[in-house]
Amino acid sequence: MLTPEERQEIEAEFPHYPNKRAVCLDAMKVIQRHRGWVSDESLRDLGEILDMTADELDGVATFYNLVFRKPVGRHIVLICDSVSCWIMGYEKLCQRLTSRLEVNLGGTTADERFTILPIVCLGTCDHAPVMMVDNDLYRDVDPDKIDEVIEKYK
């Protein structure tokens, strides 16, 4: 069941669009904000509010890179693997990060602290290589100082 708080936040999106369907991505993001990811059950519950089937919602959800249909860690690390970052040392950064956290790209650490995902160009190419942790952007990341970033997130 969606919580009253989730329902309220989803309904607050309705005035921004002419129909309920258009709210579906915002609604999935509301659920994700509260639960970290969007489960099959959440899609069924959401479908009742938006008059959509869970399958229709899943069809939308699976198109978007940042709707998570599997459980993720407490913090999301997005590491840019696009061209400018690749030229400026993405591979070394990625290798340091995955070996430091003992997890492959796309995976979640055993303590569920981090999920590491590749992301397309983050639009900060003059400060490559670039990564994000949750809402925080890190520019000119030095692979040798990756611990300083990691330690900020518990």
Partner 1 sequence: METPLTRNIPTNGDGPLNLKGYEKAGGYESLRKALHMPPADVTELVKKANLKGRGGAGFPTGTKWSFVPMGKDAPHPKYLVANADEMEPGTFKDRLLLEGDPHQLIEGMIVAAYAVQADIAYIFLRAEYTLAAERLSKAIAEAYENHHLGKNILGSTYSFEMHLHVSAGRYMCGEETGLLNALEGKRANPRSKPPFPQVSGLWGKPTVVQNVETLCNVPHIVNNGPDWFKSLSHTADGGTKLYGVSGKVKHPGLWELPMGTTIREILEEHAGGMRDGVKFRGLLPGGASTDFLTGEHLDVRMDFTEVQKAGSRMGTGTMIVLDDHTCPVGMLSNLEHFFAQESCGWCTPCWSGLNWAARILGTMEEGRGQPQDLEKLEFQTKFNAPGHTFCALAPGAMEPLQSALKYFREDFERHISEHRCPWK
Q: How far is the CB of 110 from partner 1 (least distance, A)?
A: 26
Identity of the residue, 78 or 93, whose beta carbon is nearer to partner 1 in the bound complex: 78
Assign residue 134 a region: left if phi > 0, alpha if psi is -120 to 50, beta otherwise?
A: left
Q: Based on CB atoms, which residue is closest to partner 1, 11 or 26? A: 26
Q: Which amino acid, one-letter code, is at 56?
A: E
| Percent composition of the chain: helix, strand, coil (DSSP 3-state, to 5) | 45, 10, 40
Taken in order 148, 149, 152, 153, the sign of the CA dihedral is negative
Minimum Å gap between C-beta 60 and partner 1 is: 6
> Residue 16: how many CB atoms within 10 A of its CB?
9
The minimum distance between CB 36 and partner 1, in angstroms, equals 15
- Residues near partner 1, by CB under 8 A: 16-19, 21-26, 28-29, 59-60, 63-67, 78, 81-84, 86-88, 119-128, 132, 135, 137
Based on CB atoms, which residue is closest to partner 1, 2 or 119? 119
The CA distance from 96 to 93, in Å, is: 5
Q: Which is nearer to partner 1, 44 or 110 (CB)?
A: 44
> Least separation, in Å, of the C-beta of 63 and partner 1?
4
Residue 131, classed as helix, strand or coil, is strand
